[in-house]
């Protein structure tokens, strides 16, 4: 069995009306420095988003969330940010900003499987409860 590795993660939030500071959790970005892992998972609950703002531009939100996944994957179609080393991409994605797409503060954990940790956090923090 592998020794647990330290990872960092942030919850991706959609804040449809920034001035109201209401948000829904829409995804997770997880980075494990020692293994070079950087991945994002997204699960946008459009009904909840529209409950916060019936006029939310769902297509724009979807595009921005998809860009997070692509930047994590290093998709060069995303421009120079996607070409940065993975840790710099993580820090760029999780930097504090006042925009419709925001992230939580960065949290730390330990795991033996970063992909499984990402799914676990998605289940606990983003996906609807069973």
pLDDT bin (cut points 50, 70, 90) of residue 6 is: very high
Domain boundaries, the chain: 5-125
- Other Cβ atoms closer than 10 A to 128: 9
CB burial of residue 125 (10 Å; 0-12, 13-18, 19+): middle
Neighbours of 68 (CB within 10 A): 22
27 DSSP β-pair partners: 12, 42
Rounded Cα–Cα distance for residues 119 and 124 (Å): 9
Is it the case that residue 1 has pLDDT exceeding 80? no
pLDDT (tens digit, 9 = 90+) per residue, 45-100?
999 999 999 999 999 999 999 999 999 999 999 999 999 999 999 999 999 988 99
High-pLDDT (> 70) share of the chain, %: 99
**Could you tell me what percent of the chain has a pLDDT over 90?**
94
């Amino acid at each position: 069995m592998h020794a647990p590795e330290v990872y960092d993660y942030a919850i991706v939030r959609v804040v449809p009306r920034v001035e109201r500071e209401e948000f829904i959790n829409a995804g997770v970005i997880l980075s494990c420095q020692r293994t070079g892992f950087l991945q994002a998972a997204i699960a946008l609950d459009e009904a909840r988003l529209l409950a916060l703002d019936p006029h939310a531009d769902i297509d724009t939100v979807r595009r921005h969330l998809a860009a997070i996944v692509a930047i994590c994957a290093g998709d060069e179609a995303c421009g120079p940010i996607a070409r940065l080393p993975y840790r710099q991409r993580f820090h760029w994605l999780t930097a504090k900003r006042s925009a419709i797409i925001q992230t939580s503060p960065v949290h730390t954990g330990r795991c033996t499987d970063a992909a499984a940790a990402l799914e676990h956090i998605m289940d606990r923090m983003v996906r609807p409860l069973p």
